[in-house]
């Protein structure tokens, strides 16, 4: 690792650990002075040692570590941890996930040793989990207690890990406060998390604003994979506010980039989905058909796009395809209902069919497009 974001040398001397024990005593509802006296530690010595490196400070930290059944970590251990945390940070930040499981296992192994620096390990465990491909709601609900405990040690963490602390706060806070949103951040990923949460809440204008801030910083960081992902959120926002033209332009540019780097994965498929949705919104049905007609199989979203485009371009071909090419029995119940109600709406303009499609959650943008057919 030739780039070093985190310098852990502060954790090789004792004053920082007094901040750790301040929080531990507070979290255990202990009166500090009384507790220290009970352990034969003079409170005035504790306060003095917390401000500068002193021999007595090392003795106090050793004594308190023993009381709370924590193991101290030596200078070599700090150096090894520094290397690991820098690797984790840069791999996650640039979406390099090949060592993800290994990183999580190494963090868990270190946590099992009950080391004095466990809040740092928990912080990076939360950081890793936030980068997993799980729903934000699940991530928050399954890890909120760990988050609350870890953030209580902010004074112990922020000197070195302030950017990661901010990322974890943004990721694990259910409803973003004005203070969290308006704060000036250092990283594109900070603003991308805000943009994503605003998108989830339906604040598309706000999401677009923070997407732009994130994208500017990702460009400066030359973090091109993150740019691809922020573009996906921008496209989704554009379609949600029916700015189909802007979505269309961005999607076409991104597809060219993805073809150039031979990316045919989820990034390509999601970009293509946004492109086709924008084409439907622009009533460019022939273009949708040209993107879909050579496919052998369709997911339910693609099938909806195909049926709408066929109906709007050639009704005779639509009925032939619907009656001869679609076997409703091969579809699961939800997909079968979607196809059934979509056909009813296209052919008969049944309002109930549109209502049922909304209940089946085929997508807010597609519902808007259907209403304007």
Is residue 189 located within the same domain as residue 157? no
User: Percentage of the chain with pLDDT > 90?
Assistant: 92
Do residues 79 and 217 both lie within one domain?
Answer: no
Residue that finishes a domain, picked among 282, 316, 337: 282
Q: Give the pLDDT of residue 296.
A: 87
Comparison of pLDDT for 170 and 137, the residue scoring more: 170
> Is 180 found in the same domain as 112?
no
pLDDT in tens, 233-262: 999 999 999 999 999 999 999 999 999 998
- CATH number of the CATH domain containing 206: 1.25.40.10
Inform me whether the pLDDT recorded for 194 exceeds 90.
Answer: yes
Q: Rounded to an integer, what distance in angstroms lies between the CA atom of residue 211 and that of residue 209?
A: 5
Residues above pLDDT 70, as percent of the chain: 99
For residues 198 and 269, membership in a common domain is answered with yes
Is 289 inside a domain boundary?
no
Stretch 270-294: mean pLDDT:
96
**Residue 169 and residue 185 in one domain:** no
Tens of pLDDT, residue by residue over 6-26, are 999 999 999 999 999 999 999
pLDDT at 127 over 60: yes
Q: Which of 282, 314, 339 is the last residue of a domain?
A: 282
pLDDT at 135: 80
190, 61: one domain? no
Query: Of the residues 136, 155, 174, which one is the last residue of a structural domain?
Result: 174
pLDDT band at 90 (very low <50, low <70, confident <90, very high): very high
pLDDT 10s digits, 331-356: 999 999 999 999 999 999 999 999 99
In degrees and rounded to multiples of 5, residue 71 shows phi and psi of -105, 130
Q: Mean pLDDT across the stretch 117-143? A: 92
Indicate whether 58 and 145 sit together in one domain: yes
| Containing structural domain, residue 349 | 294-373
**pLDDT at residue number 2:** 53
Q: Which band of pLDDT confidence, cut at 50, 70 and 90, is reported for residue 175?
A: confident
SS3 per residue for 242-306: CCHHHHHHHHHHHHHHHHHCCCCCHHHHHHHHHHHHHHHHCCCHHHHHHHHCCCCCCCHHHHHHH
Assessment of whether the complete model's pTM goes beyond 0.75:
yes
pLDDT of 151 higher than 90: yes
One domain for residues 152 and 87: yes
pLDDT at 1 over 70: no
Please tell me the distance from the alpha carbon of residue 293 to that of residue 303, in angstroms, as a whole number. 10
Q: How far apart are the first and last CA of the chain?
A: 55
26-68 pLDDT, tens digit each = 999 999 999 999 999 999 999 999 998 888 999 999 999 999 9
Angle between helical axes of 136-151 and 188-201 (0-180°, round to 10): 130
| pLDDT of 180 higher than 60 | yes
Check whether residue 156 and residue 209 sit in a common domain: no
**287 near 305, Cβ under 8 Å?**
no
What domain count does the chain have? 3
Which pLDDT score, from 0 to 100, does residue 4 have? 81
Same domain for 320 and 299: yes
Structure tokens at 25: 């005593």
- Other beta carbons less than 10 A from residue 40's beta carbon: 7
The pLDDT assigned to 264 comes to 86
Burial zone of 29 (CB within 10 Å; 0-12 exposed, 13-18 middle, 19+ buried): exposed
């Amino acid at each position: 690792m030739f780039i070093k974001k985190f310098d852990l040398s502060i954790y090789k001397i004792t004053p920082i650990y007094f901040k750790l024990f301040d929080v531990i005593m507070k979290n255990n509802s202990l009166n500090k002075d009384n507790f220290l006296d009970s352990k034969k530690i003079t409170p005035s010595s504790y306060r003095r040692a917390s401000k500068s490196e002193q021999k007595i400070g090392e003795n106090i930290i050793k004594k308190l570590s023993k009381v709370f059944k924590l193991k101290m970590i030596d200078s070599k251990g700090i150096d090894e941890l520094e290397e690991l945390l820098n690797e984790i940070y840069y791999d996650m930040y640039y979406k390099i996930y090949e060592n993800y499981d290994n990183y999580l296992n190494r963090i868990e192994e270190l946590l099992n040793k009950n080391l004095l620096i466990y809040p740092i390990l928990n912080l990076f465990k939360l950081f890793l989990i936030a980068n997993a491909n799980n729903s934000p709601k699940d991530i928050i609900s399954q890890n909120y207690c760990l988050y609350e405990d870890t953030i209580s040690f902010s004074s112990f963490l922020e000197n070195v890990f302030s950017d990661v602390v901010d990322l974890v706060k943004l990721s694990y806070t259910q409803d973003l406060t004005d203070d969290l949103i308006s704060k000036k951040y250092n990283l594109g990923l900070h603003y991308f998390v805000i943009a994503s949460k605003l998108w989830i809440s339906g604040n598309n204008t706000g999401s677009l604003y923070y997407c732009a801030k994130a994208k500017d910083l990702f460009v400066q960081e030359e973090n091109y994979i993150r740019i691809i992902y922020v573009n996906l959120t921008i496209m989704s926002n554009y379609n949600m506010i029916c700015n189909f033209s802007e979505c269309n332009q961005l999607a076409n540019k991104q597809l060219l980039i993805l073809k150039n780097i031979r990316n045919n994965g989820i990034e390509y498929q999601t970009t293509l989905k946004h492109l086709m949705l924008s084409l439907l919104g622009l009533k460019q049905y022939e273009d949708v058909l040209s993107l879909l007609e050579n496919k052998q199989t369709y997911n339910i979203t693609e099938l909806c796009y195909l049926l709408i485009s066929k109906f709007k371009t050639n009704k005779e071909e639509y009925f032939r395809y619907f009656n001869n090419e679609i076997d409703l029995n091969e579809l699961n119940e939800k997909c079968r209902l979607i196809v059934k109600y979509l056909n009813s709406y296209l052919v008969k303009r049944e309002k109930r069919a549109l209502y049922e499609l909304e209940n089946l959650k085929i997508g807010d943008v597609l519902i808007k497009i259907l209403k304007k057919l």
